[in-house]
Amino acid sequence: MKILVSDSITEGGLAILKDANFDVVQLPHGTPEEKAEACKDVHGWVIRSGTKVTAEMIDNAENLQVIGRAGVGVDNIDIPAATHRGIVVMNTPDVNTISAAEHTVAMMLTLSRNIAIGDSGMKQGEWNRHALVGSELRNKTLGIVGMGKIGREVMTRCRSFGMNILGFDPFMSQDMFNLDEVKIVDLDELTANSDYITVHVPLTDSTRNLFDYARLSSMKSTARIVNVARGGIINEADLAKALADGKIAGAAIDVFTAEPVDTSNPLVNAPNIVLTPHLGASTKEAKEGVSIAICEQVRDYLIHEKLNNALNMP
């Protein structure tokens, strides 16, 4: 059987596929057209965030049985089309948790202590110590949108800073949490009362543009927002306008509606913003973990018909 690996995974993951005697086709730097051609005769397809699996690709992949996403987000896969064809879509929901949570906290600290501005200024010969007075996280209120695994890891880390935690999750209630750790509220209350907001939800029809100009304007003028989840949950044009209009104090964004980002993205020239190129899951530990996990899942399904972390049931 043949496996297409169209994004970069680690040697540990590739070894699992090769040891199972799969014919592995690697196209981590292939164009969409090259990937579309290569998928036509494969039985399994391993991707990360760099490959967009369209309905047309799925329809042309006559032998395809499983698509494995090394990571959490699957908005780059046409799941209805895969389901219609009886193709299983799998992901690795647990492996990136620590990496994404730590990057979220790093972004919060970068914002609160003006680290990016200070670094850039010093490299230009400036010494703006008195102009870059920051703020402590202690006694500030953090609003966590999405209280799943990553949201809870962020909560644990930020409680160690002495922060007060508000949480919003449409699928969870206060009964599931200790009130001493987090108060579960609706999204409007969280938005209005948080000094920092972090986003940890998937991109769906209900979360797309969840933070538009109106919602951003209802935040405190001193508040900051961080997105290490998925591009599009915060409307990029609206965020740039909210920052330019002084509606909020700052933002840190790791994910974008179109990646890689070019200079036409409105956030590139927005004030008081920190941007990183989708680094939430980019640690050695996370990359190794998702590579091994998804390759094991794809192997086990194709050889033993074992389902693990399947997102659809054909």
Contact status, residue 49 vs residue 71, Cβ threshold 8 Å:
yes
Cβ density class 226-238: b for 16+ within 10 Å, e for less: bbbbbbbbbbbeb
Residue 124: the pLDDT is 95
- Would you place residue 76 in the very low, low, confident or very high pLDDT band (cuts 50, 70, 90)? very high
Within the chain, strands assigned E span 2-5, 23-26, 44-47, 66-69, 88-90, 141-145, 164-168, 183-184, 196-199, 224-227, 250-253, 273-275
Beta bridge partners of 198: 144, 226
Alpha-carbon dihedral 277, 283, 289, 294, rounded to 10 degrees = 10
- Would you place residue 169 in the very low, low, confident or very high pLDDT band (cuts 50, 70, 90)? very high
User: What CA–CA distances, in Å, run from 289 to 12, 98, 100, 101, 187?
Assistant: 9, 11, 13, 16, 33
Instruction: Report the percentage of the chain scoring pLDDT > 70.
Output: 100
Q: How many CB atoms lie within 10 A of CB 102?
A: 17
Q: Residue 10 has which token pair?
A: 């680690």
- Would you place residue 70 in the very low, low, confident or very high pLDDT band (cuts 50, 70, 90)? very high
Per-chain mean pLDDT for the chain: 96
Are β-strands 164-168 and 273-275 bridged in parallel, bridged antiparallel, or unpaired? unpaired
Whether the per-residue pLDDT at 6 is higher than 90: the answer is yes
Residue 313: the pLDDT is 72
pTM, to two decimals: 0.86
In this prediction, residues 160-165 reach a mean pLDDT of: 98
- Would you place residue 72 in the very low, low, confident or very high pLDDT band (cuts 50, 70, 90)? confident
Distance, CA of 308 to CA of 301 (rounded, Å) = 8
Distance, CA of 205 to CA of 198 (rounded, Å) = 19
* HSE-CB for 254 with a 13 A CA cutoff: 24
CA 193, chain centre distance (Å): 24
In this prediction, residues 185-192 reach a mean pLDDT of: 98
Closest CA to 172 of 161, 186, 160: 186
Annotated catalytic residues are 230, 259, 278
Q: What is the pLDDT of residues 111-121, one digit of tens each?
A: 999 999 999 99
Instruction: Report the percentage of the chain scoring pLDDT > 90.
Output: 96
Distance, CA of 280 to CA of 131 (rounded, Å) = 30
Distance, CA of 308 to CA of 110 (rounded, Å) = 37
Residue 94: the pLDDT is 85
Residue 67: the pLDDT is 98
In this prediction, residues 61-82 reach a mean pLDDT of: 95
Residue 73: the pLDDT is 85
Q: What is the pLDDT of residues 252-307, one digit of tens each?
A: 999 999 999 999 999 999 999 999 999 998 999 999 999 999 999 999 999 999 99
- Which residues touch 96 (CB under 8 Å, ≥6 apart)? 71, 72, 150, 280, 281, 286, 289, 290
